C-alpha cells in the first residue's frame, strides 16, 4: 500500500509524464463543470509508458497517473467518490483513485498465487468491491470480495464457476453478479499463453454475490468462443462479447444475448461480410440504459457495431480504427475511444463517427465513467 508521500512522488512523476500533453495541468479538476462528462481509462503514452488517465470532455487536458503495469478495465463506486482501475491479466494490483482530486488513494495487491483479470464492480451500497481473480496454481477462477470501508481488505473468495472469469457486472436486482467466463487457462510462468484451447469451457454465469451460489449458466455455441466482456440493461438483458480461439477463416457469432428474467439465451449473428470483418474478436460492450441499443467494439476489424438488443438486429456498423472503450452518451449515442488517441461520439442515426477530441495517448480496452 502506498503512503501519502508516495502519492506525491507519483504526482510529480505524473507532471513530467504529462508534459507532452497539450495544455495539461496536473492540478486535479476538482472544479469540474457538472455538465461535462468525466472519464477514466487505462492508456499508454506514445513512448510506451503505462498510465491511468482521467479526462474531462471539453475541459482541461487529461490528468495522468503513471503505473508500472498495463491496466485494463475499471469501475466507479456508486457515490462517485472512488474509481478503481485494474491491472491487465496477469495483473497484480488494482488502483483506487479519488475521483474528485484525481490522485491515488491506495493500491491493492492480488496476493501470492493470485492475479487479477482486469475487471471489477461495486455492490449497490458501495461497501463491497468484487473482482475476477485467477488462483493460478490450480487454475480456479475466483471472485474476490473486498471491504471498501476497511481499506479494500480482502474478505472472501467466491467460486467463479470455472476457468478464466473476465468481466463482471452487477445485475439490476442488486444481488446477482453477471460473469463472463472466458474459459482460457493461463499461468504467469507461461506469459499469456493459452494453455487449454482444446478443453476450454466458456460460459455466461449469474452468481449470488452473498452466497456465491450459481443461479444461471449458459454456454456459447462453440467451446472456443471465449466469453469476455458484457453489459447489463436496466431490465436485465445481458449482451456479452466473444473472442473466438479457432481458425481465422471460421466466422462464428461473437455477440450473445441473455434475457435473464425469461432465461432465454441466444446469439446475434451479423450479416456475413460484417461478421467476417470483425476478425473473431470483440473488446468492449456498452448498453445504453435509455435506448434499446448496445455498442460492441471490434478493434481487430476496426469496426464498432450497434445492435438493437431487444430485436436482436444490426442497426449499423461504423469504421473506427483500433476502437477500444465504449460508454453510453446522450439519448442513444455512445462515446468510443481508440488506440489512435481519439475519443469519438457515435450515434445510431449517423453513418460516420464524430471525433470529439484527440490526445497523445493510446486508449486501452475499456472506458470507466464517473457516476
Partner 1 sequence: MPGSRRFGRITRSLSLAAAITALPVAALADTPRERWHQDIATGYQQLAEHTQQLMDAGDGYCQGPNASGRRQLGDAWLQAFESWQQVRFVEFGPIEQDSLAWQFQFWPDAKNLVARKVNYWLSAETELTTATIDGAGVAVQGFPALEFLLADPRFQQSEQALPAERSCQLFNAVSSHIHANALELQQQWQAMKPHYLATDDYTHGTIRSAMNALEILQDRRMGAPMGLRGSGRRNPYLADAWRSETSLAGIRASIEGLQRYFAPGLMAELSAQGHADLGEQLNDAFEEVLGDLENAPAGMAPLIEDDEGFGQLQSIYIDVVQLEQTLNNDIAAALGVIRGFNSSDGD
Let me know if 311 is exposed, middle or buried by CB neighbors in 10 A (0-12, 13-18, 19+): exposed
Q: Which is nearer to partner 1, 264 or 355 (CB)?
A: 355
Q: Which is nearer to partner 1, 176 or 337 (CB)?
A: 337
C-alpha neighbours within 13 Å on the C-beta side of residue 246:
14
Q: Which is nearer to partner 1, 135 or 300 (CB)?
A: 300
Closest distance to partner 1 from the beta carbon of 22 (Å)? 20
Q: Which is nearer to partner 1, 30 or 188 (CB)?
A: 188
Give the SS3 label for residue 117: strand
Q: Which is nearer to partner 1, 217 or 222 (CB)?
A: 222
The C-alpha cell that represents 1 in the structure block: 500500500
Closest distance to partner 1 from the beta carbon of 117 (Å)? 8
Closest distance to partner 1 from the beta carbon of 81 (Å)? 28
Question: Whose CA is closest to 115, among 77, 83, 71?
Answer: 71
Closest distance to partner 1 from the beta carbon of 216 (Å)? 25
Q: Which is nearer to partner 1, 35 or 249 (CB)?
A: 249
Q: What angle do CA 42, 318, 233 make, to 5 degrees?
A: 65
326 touches 333 (CB < 8 A): no
Q: Which is nearer to partner 1, 70 or 171 (CB)?
A: 70
Q: Where are the alpha helices (DSSP H) in 19-133?
A: none
Q: Give the residues lining the site for partner 1 (CB under 8 A).
A: 44, 72, 88-89, 118, 189-191, 193-195, 197-198, 228, 246-249, 276-277, 279, 281, 283, 299-300, 302, 321-324, 338-340, 362-365
Closest distance to partner 1 from the beta carbon of 235 (Å)? 29
* Residues facing 264 on adjacent strands: 259
Residue 360: CB atoms within 10 A of its CB come to 15
Let me know if 302 is exposed, middle or buried by CB neighbors in 10 A (0-12, 13-18, 19+): middle
Closest distance to partner 1 from the beta carbon of 363 (Å)? 8
Q: Which is nearer to partner 1, 44 or 214 (CB)?
A: 44
Instruction: Please write down the long-range contacts of 243-247, taking CB distance under 8 Å and 24 or more positions apart.
Output: 243/182, 243/280, 243/281, 243/282, 244/280, 244/281, 245/184, 245/194, 245/197, 245/200, 246/222, 246/280
183 touches 199 (CB < 8 A): no
Question: Whose CA is closest to 282, among 298, 266, 306, 259?
Answer: 298
Closest distance to partner 1 from the beta carbon of 138 (Å)? 16
Closest distance to partner 1 from the beta carbon of 336 (Å)? 11
Residue 211: CB atoms within 10 A of its CB come to 10
Closest distance to partner 1 from the beta carbon of 283 (Å)? 6
Q: Which is nearer to partner 1, 291 or 361 (CB)?
A: 361
What is the full DSSP assignment across 306-329?
Answer: EEETTTTEEEEEEE-TTEEEEEEE
Amino acid at each position: 500500500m502506498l503512503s501519502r508521500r508516495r502519492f506525491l512522488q507519483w504526482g510529480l512523476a505524473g507532471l513530467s509524464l504529462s508534459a507532452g500533453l497539450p495544455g495539461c495541468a496536473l492540478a486535479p479538476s476538482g472544479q469540474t463543470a457538472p455538465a461535462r462528462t468525466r472519464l477514466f481509462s487505462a492508456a499508454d503514452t506514445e513512448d510506451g509508458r503505462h498510465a491511468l488517465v482521467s479526462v474531462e470532455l471539453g475541459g482541461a487536458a487529461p490528468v495522468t497517473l503513471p503505473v508500472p503495469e498495463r491496466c485494463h478495465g475499471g469501475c466507479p463506486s456508486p457515490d462517485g467518490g472512488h474509481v478503481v482501475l485494474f491491472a491487465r491479466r496477469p495483473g497484480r494490483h488494482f488502483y483506487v483513485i479519488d475521483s474528485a482530486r484525481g490522485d491515488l488513494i491506495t493500491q491493492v495487491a492480488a496476493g501470492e498465487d493470485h492475479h487479477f483479470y482486469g475487471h471489477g464492480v461495486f455492490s449497490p451500497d458501495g461497501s463491497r468491491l468484487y473482482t475476477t481473480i485467477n488462483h493460478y496454481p490450480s487454475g480456479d477462477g475466483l471472485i474476490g470480495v473486498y471491504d471498501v470501508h476497511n481499506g479494500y481488505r480482502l474478505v472472501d473468495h467466491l467460486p467463479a464457476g470455472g476457468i478464466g472469469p473476465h468481466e463482471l457486472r452487477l445485475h439490476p436486482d442488486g444481488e446477482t453478479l453477471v460473469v463472463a467466463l472466458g474459459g482460457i487457462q493461463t499461468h504467469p510462468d507461461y506469459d499469456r499463453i493459452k494453455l487449454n484451447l482444446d478443453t476450454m469451457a466458456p460460459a455466461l454465469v449469474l452468481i449470488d454475490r452473498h452466497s456465491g451460489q450459481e443461479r444461471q449458466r449458459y454456454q456459447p455455441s462453440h467451446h472456443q468462443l471465449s466469453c469476455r466482456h458484457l453489459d447489463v440493461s436496466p431490465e436485465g438483458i445481458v449482451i456479452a462479447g466473444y473472442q473466438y480461439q479457432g481458425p481465422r477463416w471460421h466466422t462464428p457469432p461473437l455477440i450473445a444475448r441473455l434475457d435473464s428474467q425469461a432465461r432465454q439465451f441466444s446469439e446475434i449473428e451479423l450479416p456475413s461480410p460484417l461478421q467476417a470483418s470483425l476478425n473473431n474478436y470483440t473488446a468492449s460492450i456498452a448498453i445504453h440504459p435509455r435506448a434499446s441499443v448496445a455498442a460492441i467494439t471490434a478493434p481487430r476489424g476496426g469496426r464498432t457495431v450497434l445492435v438493437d438488443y431487444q430485436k436482436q438486429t444490426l442497426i449499423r456498423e461504423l469504421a473506427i480504427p483500433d476502437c477500444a472503450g465504449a460508454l453510453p452518451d446522450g439519448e442513444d449515442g455512445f462515446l468510443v475511444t481508440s488506440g489512435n488517441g481519439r475519443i469519438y461520439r457515435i450515434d445510431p442515426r449517423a453513418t460516420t463517427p464524430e471525433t470529439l477530441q484527440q490526445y497523445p495517448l493510446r486508449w486501452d480496452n475499456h472506458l470507466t465513467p464517473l457516476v
